[in-house]
Amino acid sequence: MRAFIFPGQGSQTVGMGKALAEASAVARAVFEEVDEALGQNLARLMADGPIDTLTLTENAQPAIMANSIAALRVSGVDVGKADFVAGHSLGEYSALCAAASFDLATAARLLKLRGQAMQAAVPVGEGAMAALLGANLGLAREIAEAAAEGDVCSVANDNDPTQVVISGHRTAVERALLIAKEKGAKRAILLPVSAPFHSPLMEPAARAMEQALADVALADPAVQLYANVAAAPVSEADEIRRLLVEQVTGMVRWRESVEAMAAAGVDHFVEFGGKVLGPMVKRIVPEARVTSVVTMDDIDALVKEI
């Protein structure tokens, strides 16, 4: 069995999609449709930078989605070749676009809004996120609880058995950096992000997404989605709509999602548009086969394989 998976924020790089666009009219059409939907030249920003502007949440989110969908469409591989789709945080929107729950333009507009709403939810400098390396979910929760001291500090991403991300008020997250070392985490690293994603502080962004999602056409996906906050397969549009709202403040249960897909029989994970999730998958399910699809060579190899 096979799952198509889609990366989240942090996978953006200057030059992303440029070679695909130069080699394929299909890729160019994807980037042109996203540019038209957003009313901006995102493709040029992706190709040429600057990285600071590309990394802005409102740009990075639709850019990463566009790059993933371009890689999928250039491959010509039908989503029906997958038994499940899944994405990490914003990658869930890429997965739903791939599975025809909503169209490309809708995905782009939703992610632009999602990025803007997440940034606006907390004043710059008041929130932070940190990666705890060598810490499992239980230890990360213990560290976050000890660091909170009345502030918000909670687990944002359970990525794999050795990497968990916490999020919340900057003062609490900074306390967590010290507590993590005392409690045995190998490293604790403050992440270069501008807001405390996937924490209760994102509640205003969740309400903005609830309103936005209520107004868009959302179909049942062609392939079941393993949802971030449920770590379980969902196939009904209304349930997906609800979970996308919950995802804004909820924990990304990536480790559990991969474990559940593997338990369901998935032994091949294909990551479109990045090489970020593949290593996580291998740390979660070492025996799994992982294919990362970014370049034309990757696409050629995938087509031969599938």
Amino acid identity for residue 77 in this structure:
V
Chain centre distance of CA 246 = 14
- CA-CA distance, 255 to 231, in Å (whole number)? 8
Cβ(54)–Cβ(3) under 8 Å?
no
Say whether 127-193 and 2-121+201-305 share the same fold: no
The answer to whether 284 and 258 are in contact (CB under 8 A) is yes
Residue with tokens 């660091």: 147
State residue 11's pLDDT score. Answer: 80
CA distance 68 to 58: 17
Q: For position 156, what pLDDT does the model report?
A: 98
CB 166 within 8 A of CB 193: no
CATH 3.40.366.10 fits 2-121+201-305, yes or no: yes
CATH number of 127-193: 1.10.4160.10, 3.30.70.250, 3.40.1190.20, 1.10.287.90?
A: 3.30.70.250
Measured CA to CA, the distance from residue 263 to residue 211 in angstroms comes to: 35
Whether the CB-CB separation of 1 and 263 falls below 8 Å is answered with no
Centre a 10 Å sphere on the Cβ of residue 34 and count the other Cβ atoms it contains.
28
Q: What pTM was computed for the model?
A: 0.96
pLDDT in tens, the chain (306 residues): 999 999 998 888 999 999 999 999 999 999 999 999 999 999 999 999 999 899 889 999 999 999 999 999 999 999 999 999 999 999 999 999 999 999 999 999 999 999 999 999 999 889 999 999 999 999 999 999 999 999 999 999 999 999 999 999 999 999 999 999 999 999 999 998 878 999 999 999 999 999 999 989 999 999 999 999 999 999 999 999 999 999 999 999 999 999 999 999 999 999 999 999 999 999 999 999 999 999 999 999 898 888
Domain ranges of the chain: 2-121+201-305, 127-193
pLDDT for the residue numbered 192: 82
Give dist(CA 211, CA 96) in Å, integer: 18
Please report the pLDDT score of residue 133 as a whole number: 96
CA distances from 2 to 34, 77, 86, 169 (A): 28, 13, 11, 39
Give the pLDDT of residue 194.
Answer: 78
Q: How many CB atoms lie within 10 A of CB 179?
A: 19
Residues annotated as part of the active site: 89, 198
- Residue 158, classed as helix, strand or coil, is strand
Res 158: pLDDT? 98
The confidence score (pLDDT) of residue 55 equals 87
The H-or-E segment that residue 249 falls in is helix 237-249
